[in-house]
Structures are given as structure tokens and as C-alpha cells.
Structure 1
Amino acid sequence: MRNDPIPLTRVSQAVEVKAPDYVALSDRIWGMPELRFQEHRSAEEQIAQMEAEGFRITRAVAGIPTAFVAEAGEDGPLIAFLGEFDALAGLSQDAGVAEPRTATPGANGHGCGHNLLGAGAMLAAVAARDALRAAGRPGRIRYYGCPAEEGGSGKTFMARAGAFDGVDAAFCWHPGSVNGVMSARSLANYQVYFRFRGRASHAAGSPHLGRSALDAVELMNVGVNYLREHVPQESRLHYAITDSGGMSPNVVQARAEVLYLIRSPRVSEARVLLDRVRACAEGAAIMTGTTWEMEIDKACSETLPNTALETAMHRNLLEIGPPPYEPADRDFAKAIRASLTEEDIASGVASYGADPAIGAMPLHDGIVPFDGTSIAQYGSTDVGDVSQIVPTAQLWGGCWAVGTPFHTWQAVAQGKSGAAHKGMVLAAKAMAATALDALADPDLLDRAKEELARRHGGKPYVNPIPDEVVPPPLRARA
């Protein structure tokens, strides 16, 4: 039986009361330079905030120093809010400046808005806890501080350790250019190192004695480039040469390394594609007389949308309405858009599955319609592994000028803007309100869980990271 719902006004009031603290937190994390699994200062900022709010802290989840959990409540269903705080390499950009400019060239930057993502999810967790407490309702609220979404799959390692077992529903959000439910099927991936070892020699005096590891890397890449024609259309293959074997062209390179990111719509397909890429490495080693080895760095599963929770979230978004953008917010958004091409803007709007007409707006003044249909997206996220275990719903918060590409200086420049903070607060309200709906309505939770089981088709979840692969911060000790 459904309990009487907690009024949305109470959730909004709780969020508004807390918002200034979390706006400041998002700004502090914005300037921190740490990358995957090195986000110690950001994690400590979040832990201190949640301790101040009276949440119980569990550190080093899954053995990862920067992963933690903050929990409140003793009884009732367990609701999770997923937060992130990691940055991207080489994307330093001065805040509030509508041109590429930085006081710290080569430093890192929040080109994916994770400073906002974590602070907004924490705000939702505190608001939901406060609303439950005021109403005298049971329910447990848990915030997950998740490191290394960018290139590290922190949540996948956490999932393998059982960190999300027993959770009844999970909520997350992401900064973007629109306001609306994020019902998306992301790509699964494997990130894998291929290392080649050869034999050094004088490149002119005795080249016949050398066996070039760099030749092996290049031949492997040529093979993979030919492979692209013969993989599923939705698959993606990316690589970076991470060790070219030295700086001298007069030495046959005895070592070389290439890092591959292999994506497909389902993790089972990504495994098959990994085997085909591995065959290219083996062939390259045979051709060059070198040896090779492969090391899986990380992996993540595809997301499983949950229409039951997403429909409830969409209803709350409509009731809350879009962020109350101000003239100054629109002026800055227009300045940012002056640096974008028409193709940038059209591609950005299309990536959300939104009406192309939104591309004419400097900031999105509405809520994207939702009819229960999921769209395909070609990025990857470790939220996918949480969604394989727990019914999970996500949303977009309109924090950036419409059309802003991800992982760009334009995204970083807007990370402390007024619009960004307003989009963050909207996301917190919608997540908190939907979590409270789930706690008040056992039928909603049941339908969400039944949908997750149906999407699995009777097959159990299998974590894509092999047991022998430990998180990067623990590898030196392993």
C-alpha cells in the first residue's frame, strides 16, 4: 500500500536551504587537479560535508582509498545516490571566460562537470534524509562517493566488491545542455594495454639484429584499423600509443605499448571484439619477431534503463519546472555559443534525443518530453554496472549553453556559472523527490525491480572486470 506522499514543496524547501553549502562545495572541487583514483582532496571535501550533515561514513570501499559511502537512517528500503568528483587531463580553463584561456596551462579541468555531479547528488541525499526525518518516515539514504568514472570504472570495481548489493533503487544525474530524464543505453567497454618486447640494435649499423616493438604496435594498429570495417556499426575502437620505445630514431625500439578502448552495445559483444583485437596483437608480434602481453586495465557494462523509475522522475521534473535562469546566465550562454559551430550545436542537441528546435535556445527553458523510449548513446559509464544490479534512474540537468560539447574548454568554463548551479539544484530536487516516491510507494519499487529482472532475461549479472585485475591504486601492492 502506498504511504501518503511527502509534498514536493518540502523537498524543494530542504534543497533550497542546503543549496548554498553545496554550491560552494561544487566550486571548491572545480579547482582540484586530481585524476582517476587520485581524487584525495575532492573525496575529503565530500566526506567532511557529509559528516557535518550527520551521515555515517565508510571509507576505502572496495579497498579504493578515494571511494566512500555516507549513510543515514536505520530502517526501511535503501535508496542510493551516486556521486562523482574526478577531472580530465589537460582541460584547464579559467571559469566564467568565454574563450580558451587558462592561468595553468596543461593542468586538468572538469570538462564533464563532475564537480557539479557529486555535489548535486549529495544535496539530493541530504534533502531526502531531511524530508524523511521531518515526516517521521522510515528509509535509509546512502550517498556513494565514486572515484574514477573517467577512464577508471570505479563503480565497476565497487560493484565487483558487492558495494551495491542490497540497494533497492539508485539515482544519478549528469550536467548537460538540457533538462530531462536520461533514458539511455550506453556502450559497454574494455580498456586494455598491449605491450610488445623486442630487441634493441643500432638502426643503421646492425638493423638486421633488431626486433622493433614499435613496428609491432604500428602493425597492430593497422590491423585494427582494417578491422573497423567488419565490426557492428555501433562499436567503437580507440587507441593511444602510451610508450613509443624512446626518443631516438637511431635505436631499434625494444619496447612499446598501446592502450585500447573497445566499446560495443553489450558487454558480451565487447568481449568478442576484444578477442579480435587481441588477434591483431598476436599477428603483429609474429610479423615482427617480438613478444607481447595484454593487461586489462578496466571495463564497464552497458546501462539498463528503468522506465518505472524514469516515468516517476519525469513527472517530478514537470512539477518542479526548468531552472530559473537569469539574464546574466543567458548572456554568458550566448557568449559560449559564439565559440561553437552550427554542427556543434545540432550534434549536441541530437545526442540527448531532444527536439532540434532546442538548438535555438541559449539555455534550455523546458523539460524534454519522455514517453518511455530509451535512446542509444555512444559513450560509456560505470553507472552501467550499478544499473545491472539495482533499478537505476538518471537525469540531465541544464547546466551549460545548449550545444556545449562534453570534454571541452567550453564545458569547463561553465562549471562555476550561475546556470550550472541552478541546473544542479534542479537535479537534486528531482532525484530527492523520486527517491521519496519510491520509499512511499512499494508498488513503484516492485515494478522497478521486476523491470530490471525482465531486462536481464533470466541471465545473471557478471562483472566484466576479471577477478585478478585490481584497481590501479592497489596494483603496486598486489
Structure 2
Amino acid sequence: MMKNEAEIWTLVEANAARMIQLSDDVWAVPETCYTETKSVALHQQALEDAGFRVRAGVADIPTAVIGEAGEGGPVIAILGEYDALPGLSQQAGLAEHSEVEPDGHGHGCGHNLLGAGALLAAAAVKDWLAQTGAPGRVRYYGCPAEEGGGAKAFMVKAGLFDDVDIAITWHPESLTDVQGGGSLANTRIDFAFHGRASHAASAPHLGRSALDAVELTNVGVNYMREHMPSDARVHYAMINGGGIAPNVVQPYARVRYSVRAPQLPDMVKLVDRVRKVAEGAALMTETRVEPEVLSAVSNLIANAPLMEAMEAELQRLGPVPFDESDRAFAEEIRATLSEEEKRDVFARFNAPVQEDRILCDFLLPAGNPKPPISGSTDVSDVSWVVPLVQAMVATAAIGTPLHSWQMVAQGKAPAAHKGMTHAAKIMAGTAVAALSDPTLIERAKADLARRVGPKGYTSPLPDGTKPPIALMSL
């Protein structure tokens, strides 16, 4: 073990208790996309208590915050999140579905752990810089609205990463590995249809149904699926169906689409096709359609030098040190999972299935090919402008699906705390490696320049698009 690693891991452990408490406190106040007022207040207080220089409400987002420490030298960004998901309220520590609050929110993607773990890493790096006197700055980015709001894309467009040298983050999972390249570029776009109300029985001919337009849009997009790339994805949700009165021709209705593709240009083309379907539906129903882009994120860009550096940290550190009590609760959770769910995570990590394993108390082979993630993330937009690396670290029973009540149930468990602390050591160790070896930053920047090419980064957000704060607060 190298001296710097031993020091930084010790500093992580020294800060762990208060950041574990932060994670549990955020778990207890689950807030969704752009409404994370209590969660960001907890993070801001933790930053101030740890001695960071704090900037609140950055990029005109009230629930975004940045804390910085250190002087001169390279700028290392460590990215955290703290938004929850709707409809996933669940009692902690219970291996059966039991809501805390009917139809309430829950941390089904583990972002209570993600934010606190990233802040734990940043606090340790801050202490390391102070103790060693090394030049450099560590900057914690408290990022809201990853689930559908794309806050980091707005933060990138606002220039908040312009002076950053490298960025580091992590995500809770049920297996541990360094995340590879690739994710789906994604646009969330609403189509609001405006028609004409009338009595549905006595004067239906006078009405123009906005709900009909929504339904025709959905039918058209479903027919389009046969004629779009097989690795693209399109989903929709009814936001406003026009009310509850069937005897009124609905004058207003709204549908939300999520359009994804592995590469940004392909996603942009697919969004244009969905727009045309909506315009056609408006033409057929003699209604008017207003499209509104809520958020848009790019596909993820990998960085080989940083992945190698993080992999080295992970291999030296080893797997998360779970114990028998952790395994006992994980076994209860796994009893609620299907066999398909237990196997699926191994496929997503491109790893052989290990059916007898309860928790990820092992490492995947070094150099294991890194498949792209099948979802979308606003971390991707940071990866286009700053060399970025991300760890996936086990905090839950193997096979636990993200966005599930089972993930929420494990969010305050000792196993989750151990995984979070382990992730902080991996991230902090990677940061110290970059601060101790300037050539790593140089190689990471060169790798990014090669991958993005001469055209560089173009934000997928149309000019003038604002974070949909008011809309998400409804």
C-alpha cells in the first residue's frame, strides 16, 4: 500500500460517521426532481461544518450547491446527487413492501448514499490537502434532479465546470466495478395540446379534443417503433388527461416523452420524428400543440487513463467488507426478487453469473470489458467537457433493481453504509492519485480530446431552455 493511499483511506474513515448520518438524514426526507430543499440544506450545512467555501443556488437552481477547499493547483470535482423518486416510499430495514407514507417518495436509486459518499470523499481530500500542503482544490458539486431533470446539463451550460481538471463520481449498485463508457442520450419533452371544449353529448361536433390528440400521438409513436433503431428507446407518461368529466370534450391535455439513443445525433433525429408525430396528431384533431423541452442529456464519454487509475485503487482496496449480519438481511431481500432479477445485474456488468453470492464481497476480474449502461444520466454532459470517471459500488443485495422498494429498504442498512464508505475511499484515492501525478491529468485530457473530436461539445439543451423547476414543483 502506498503512503498516500493509507493516509487518504484513514481520512475517509475519520469523516465517515457524520457523512453516514447525512445519508440517513437525506433518506428520511425524500424529495424529487428540483424540489430537494431539505436535502440540499442538509448538504450545505455539512459542507459548512466541514470548512468548505460554499456557493448556494448555482446555475439559477435553488437546490444546487458547490463547496470548495484548497488553493491553487488542479481542480478536482467530486459529484454528488440527492434526489429521490416518486411512488417508492418504503420502511427501512424491512424485507417486505411497506410504505412510510402512502404514494410517498423514496430513494430507490440510492442517491442519499451517492451524495453523502461523494461529500465524504471530498472532505477526505480537503483534509489531505491541508495536511500535506499540496497545491490543489477539491470541489463538491451537489447536483439535484438527476432523475429526469438533467441539472448537470444546465450546470455545464452555465460554465460551472469550465475550470475543472478532472471529475469523479460513483453510483450505488449491487455489484462493484469501474463504470465503462456509454449511456443513452436522452430528451424529455412535453407535448401540450389545446383544443376546444364542448358538450360531448349534445354538441360533440363543436369540440376539438386535446385528449384525442394525445392518444393519436401515442399510437403514432408506437407504430414508429418498428422503424427506429433497435437500441433506441421511447417512453411516455400522461401528465394531464383533460380532467375527469367524460361528458366534456377535453380542451387541454399533456403528455411527456422520454426519447433515448446511444449517440446524441441519433437522439436529436428521433426527437424530431416524435415532434412530427405530435404535429400530425394536432393536424388530425384540429388542435394546437406546444412542445416544451424539459431536459436533455448527452451520451457518456469514457476516459481510459482515469478508468485505469480508479481500477488500480479498487484492486488495492479490495471488495466491500460485508459481514454475516449484512448477508442475513441481504438474503431476506433476495427472497423478494425473481430469478431473472438476480441474474440480470451480471449481464449488465458483463460478468459470469454467481448464483450462490448474496452480496458483492468479491471483485470482478481486472480488465473486465465495461459495457455501456442501458439508461441515461446527466453525468454524461460533464464527461464531454471534463475527463470523468465513475465507480459502481455494491450497497445492496445482488440483483436488487434500481428504482425499486427493495433499494429503498436497504438505503440505511449497515451494508449500504459500508458500500458508501468504500466508494468514498475509491474516489478519494483516485483524486489523490491525480493530485500526486500531474501526468495523469494530462493523459486524461488528451484522451477526452481524442474521443470528442474537433467539434467538441454541443449542449443538447436548446438555447433558452431553463431548468423546469416550477413545472416539477407542481
TM-score by length of 1: 0.96
1:232 Cα deviation from its structure 2 partner: 1.1
1:95 Cα deviation from its structure 2 partner: 0.2
1:324 Cα deviation from its structure 2 partner: 1.3
Matched, 1:253 2:250: yes
Alignment of 1:109-258 (within 5 A): 109-258=106-255
Distance 2:369 2:443 in 1: 17
SS in 1 for 2:256: strand
1:346-400 CA distance string (max 9 Å, x none): 112212222222x431101112234274312221000000001100000011100
Matched, 1:471 2:467: yes
2:375 equivalent in structure 1:
379
1:214-242 CA distance string (max 9 Å, x none): 11111110000011111111100000111
Is this contact kept in 2: 1:193–1:297, CA < 8 A? yes
More moved, 456-465 vs 86-95: 456-465
Is this contact kept in 1: 2:175–2:345, CA < 8 A? no
1:312-364 CA distance string (max 9 Å, x none): 1011111111111111100000000000011111112212222222x431101
Is this contact kept in 1: 2:166–2:441, CA < 8 A? yes
Alignment of 1:269-284 (within 5 A): 269-284=266-281
Alignment of 1:331-346 (within 5 A): 331-346=328-343
2:385 equivalent in structure 1:
389
Give structure 1 regions of 4+ aligned residues with deviation exceeding 4 angstroms.
Answer: none
SS in 2 for 1:148: coil
- Among 348, 353, 362, the alignment partner of 2:350 is 353
2:409 equivalent in structure 1:
413
2:291 equivalent in structure 1:
294
2:301 equivalent in structure 1:
304
2:363 equivalent in structure 1:
367
Is this contact kept in 1: 2:197–2:251, CA < 8 A? yes
1:190 Cα deviation from its structure 2 partner: 0.5
Alignment of 1:72-87 (within 5 A): 72-87=69-84
Matched, 1:424 2:420: yes
- Judged with a 3 Å threshold, the aligned counterparts in structure 2 of structure 1 residues 370 and 457 are, in CA distance, closer, same or farther, namely farther
- Among 37, 40, 48, the alignment partner of 2:37 is 40
TM-score by length of 2: 0.97
Distance 1:164 1:388 in 2: 11
Is this contact kept in 2: 1:181–1:313, CA < 8 A? yes
- Judged with a 3 Å threshold, the aligned counterparts in structure 2 of structure 1 residues 233 and 460 are, in CA distance, closer, same or farther, namely same
Distance 1:372 1:397 in 2: 15
Distance 1:376 1:360 in 2: 26
SS in 2 for 1:393: strand
Distance 2:368 2:421 in 1: 24
Is this contact kept in 2: 1:203–1:249, CA < 8 A? yes
Distance 1:415 1:433 in 2: 24
SS in 2 for 1:190: strand
Is this contact kept in 2: 1:181–1:370, CA < 8 A? no
Is this contact kept in 1: 2:79–2:168, CA < 8 A? yes
SS in 2 for 1:36: coil
1:83 Cα deviation from its structure 2 partner: 0.3
1:324 equivalent in structure 2:
321
Distance 2:141 2:331 in 1: 35
SS in 2 for 1:339: coil
- Judged with a 3 Å threshold, the aligned counterparts in structure 2 of structure 1 residues 240 and 179 are, in CA distance, closer, same or farther, namely same
Is this contact kept in 2: 1:6–1:436, CA < 8 A? no
SS in 1 for 2:29: coil
Q: Residue type matched to 1:130 in 2?
A: D
1:98-126 CA distance string (max 9 Å, x none): 00012311110000000000000001011
SS in 2 for 1:377: coil
Distance 1:106 1:372 in 2: 40
Alignment of 1:450-461 (within 5 A): 450-461=446-457
- Judged with a 3 Å threshold, the aligned counterparts in structure 2 of structure 1 residues 184 and 333 are, in CA distance, closer, same or farther, namely farther
> Which runs of no fewer than 5 residues in structure 1 stay unpaired?
none
> Which runs of no fewer than 5 residues in structure 2 stay unpaired?
none
Distance 1:288 1:40 in 2: 41
1:463 Cα deviation from its structure 2 partner: 1.0
Matched, 1:437 2:407: no
Matched, 1:446 2:442: yes
Distance 2:372 2:172 in 1: 18
2:18 equivalent in structure 1:
21
Distance 2:262 2:202 in 1: 50
Distance 2:402 2:329 in 1: 18
1:388-418 CA distance string (max 9 Å, x none): 1100000011100000001000000000001
Q: Residue type matched to 2:270 in 1?
A: L
- Judged with a 3 Å threshold, the aligned counterparts in structure 2 of structure 1 residues 70 and 37 are, in CA distance, closer, same or farther, namely same
Count of aligned residue pairs for this structure pair: 472
Is this contact kept in 1: 2:15–2:120, CA < 8 A? yes
1:135 Cα deviation from its structure 2 partner: 2.0
- Among 449, 462, 465, the alignment partner of 2:458 is 462
1:458 Cα deviation from its structure 2 partner: 1.4
2:395 equivalent in structure 1:
399
Distance 1:103 1:211 in 2: 43
SS in 1 for 2:171: strand
Distance 1:409 1:125 in 2: 29
SS in 1 for 2:257: strand
Is this contact kept in 2: 1:6–1:135, CA < 8 A? no
1:232-279 CA distance string (max 9 Å, x none): 111000001111111111111111110000001112111100110011
SS in 2 for 1:185: coil
Distance 1:43 1:126 in 2: 17
1:314 equivalent in structure 2:
311
1:105 equivalent in structure 2:
102
1:143 Cα deviation from its structure 2 partner: 0.3
Q: Residue type matched to 1:324 in 2?
A: P
Is this contact kept in 2: 1:6–1:131, CA < 8 A? no
SS in 2 for 1:336: helix
Distance 2:284 2:470 in 1: 35
